[in-house]
Structure 1
Amino acid sequence: MKVKVLESFRYEGKKYEEGSIVDLPESVGRRVIEKGYGAETEKEPPTLDLEEEGEGRKGPRWKRKIWISEDRNLGISVWPPGGKFDSPSVTLEESRRDDSGDWQTNRLYLPTGSSLLALSEHMKSAWNEVQKIKTKEKEE
């Protein structure tokens, strides 16, 4: 049974990290879901990895997508120079399914210099802070 890990847990000595998709025996998967550590998923979320294919190529040169739920995902793309940008650009896209079932997407252009690296470090720090809070809540 494929399960999306909602909260990190251990099973048979192996740690399963939050956000990952794991294949567990049916009975174990059901218990993980019942206890709130996971959610059932039909398949592993798709990840698109594009390679550079020549100068005339349109579209992003690199892209990753993370599924938050079946109705929401986040994507990050690296675009080659062109159009109104004379250097590569980075976009962050949030796609959500609205009440009528249609997908709506919002795109944010991110900085590409040292600010992008700083942003990634802040995101990592935020993740670490969330883990500290979760650990503290479990201890209480």
Structure 2
Amino acid sequence: MKIRVTKTFQYEGKEYEEGQKVDLPDSVGRSVLEKGFGKKIEEETPTIESIEEPEEERKKPPEWKRKIWISEDRNLSVSIWPPGGKFNSPSVTLEENRRDDSGNWESDRIYLPTGSALLALSAHLQSAWEEIQEIKTGEKN
């Protein structure tokens, strides 16, 4: 059971301090919760937003970036980031920025493949554009 320690305690000769996140056997975890020495940590599904990059990695600017404005309240950008941190080769991101109903900007970022799959993705995007053009001109039924 995953617990966040709220009051320092000892278990099997080891001291657990306030603020620590620990994984304890279920029976011990229940006892810690009952005695008020900790709070259960709910399992989270990791998302892109919850993955923290080291401070020094966040400060590096992208090596290449292109932004496309969809409207005054929405844009997309593609960036190439230098190797570093958890990536030992350059990485590519696609980021959507949009203004919410309150006027605040929100963004979502996804990491794209960097090998031949990136080339295949670009070919599919071009094919989609060509398909849309055919539909618009009425050539497609």
Shorter-chain TM-score above 0.5: yes
Aligned position for 1:63: 65
C-alpha deviations, 1:52-111, integer Å up to 9, x for none?
xxxxx8210000000000000000000010011011000000000001100000001000
User: How high is the sequence identity, in percent, across the aligned residues?
Assistant: 72
**Where do residues 1-140 of structure 1 align in structure 2 (5 Å cutoff)?**
58-136=60-138
- Residue correspondences, number: 84
SS at match of 2:102: coil
Amino acid at match of 2:76: L
Structure whose alpha-carbon radius of gyration is higher: 2
| Per-residue deviation, 1:129 | 0.1
CA distance in 2, matches of 1:58, 1:93: 16
SS at match of 1:81: coil
Q: TM-score, normalised by structure 2?
A: 0.56
CA distance in 1, matches of 2:104, 2:74: 11
Structure 1 runs (4+) deviating above 3 angstroms are none
Q: Say what the alpha-carbon RMSD is for the aligned residues.
A: 2.1
Aligned position for 1:43: none
C-alpha deviations, 1:19-38, integer Å up to 9, x for none?
xxxxxxxxxxxxxxxxxxxx
Structure 1: gaps (5+ residues): 1-56
